[in-house]
Amino acid sequence: MKKYLIDIHCHTSEVSNCGQTPAAETVQLYYSMGYKAVMITDHFKSNLLEDNPDASWDEKIDHFVTGYKNALAEAEKLGDFKVYLGAELRFDENNNDYLLFGLSEDKLRKMEKLPLMSVSEGVEFVHSLDCAIIQAHPFRNGCTIIEPGILDGVEVFNGHKGHDSRNDIALKWAKKFGYIMTSGTDFHGEHDPTSGIYVDNIPENEDELRDLILSGNYDIKHNGKLDL
């Protein structure tokens, strides 16, 4: 088993309406449970900042990164904990969700039209910005199966206890089509972190985390029964 534990699916109450825990408390919780890093993946969709629909796109991005920045500030106090900027993207065409890796604020500011695109167009655009895209919980109720070969990978273990993500089916799907496989708690605050990836070395930044995910050079942590 590799040494260090990272969660790559985590929401904050500052940005995600479904989030129940502020970013600073979230970092403290992960730290207390032995995690070494977390990627903040607040919901990124066309109605971003829906409480203020007349806000400019830059204002919406300023809001979107507040959870990440609050988590980063708390991590800097700890000194040996990393926080990465991520997102859980939803295209308007269906209820699927996708985790984005390799993000930056500058890249987010170029993504105003991304949720309006088709999946194939969106994936191409995401790749043009040197980001990776993984489908989260692909077999949860309401989600749509995407044609194999378009995405970089799928989340084979989603630890959200409020949904049946059918992780066993996601694992079989990933193995059948040779997808990169990831695991994440899908933390919202209802329960402690349970999942993530074990790594040999902690990535220094979002680009290194993206490269790690694309390499598949990590071990899966989960709290269920999966024949990995």
If you write DSSP's letter for every residue of 198-224 in order, what string do you get?
Answer: EESS--SSHHHHHHHHHHT-SEEE-SS
Would you tell me the crossing angle of helices 23-32 and 66-78 to the nearest 10 degrees?
A: 40
If DSSP codes are grouped into helix, strand and coil, which group holds residue 26? helix
Number of other residues whose CB lies within 10 A of the CB of residue 52: 11
Tokens of 3: 């040494």
Domain ranges of the chain: 4-221
Q: Alpha-carbon distance 198 to 181, whole Å?
A: 13
Match 């990995």 to its residue by tokens: 228
Q: Alpha-carbon distance 213 to 182, whole Å?
A: 8
Tens place of pLDDT for every residue, the chain, 228 residues? Answer: 679 999 999 999 998 876 568 999 999 999 999 999 999 999 999 988 777 788 999 999 999 999 999 999 999 999 999 999 999 999 999 999 999 999 999 999 999 999 999 999 999 999 999 999 999 999 999 999 888 889 999 999 998 888 889 999 999 999 999 999 999 999 987 888 999 999 999 999 999 999 999 999 999 987 655 555
**Residue 115 CA to its chain's centroid (Å):** 16
Does residue 89 contact residue 45 with C-beta atoms inside 8 Å?
A: yes
From the candidate CATH numbers 3.30.1490.100, 3.20.20.140, 3.30.460.10, 3.40.50.1000, the one assigned to the domain spanning 4-221: 3.20.20.140
User: Structure pTM?
Assistant: 0.95
Angle at 19 between CA 51 and CA 139, to 5 degrees: 105
Q: How many helices (H) and strands (E) does the chain have?
A: 7, 11
Q: Alpha-carbon distance 99 to 64, whole Å?
A: 15
| CA distance between the termini of the chain | 13
Does residue 200 contact residue 3 with C-beta atoms inside 8 Å?
A: yes
Number of other residues whose CB lies within 10 A of the CB of residue 206: 19
Tokens of 216: 């598949």
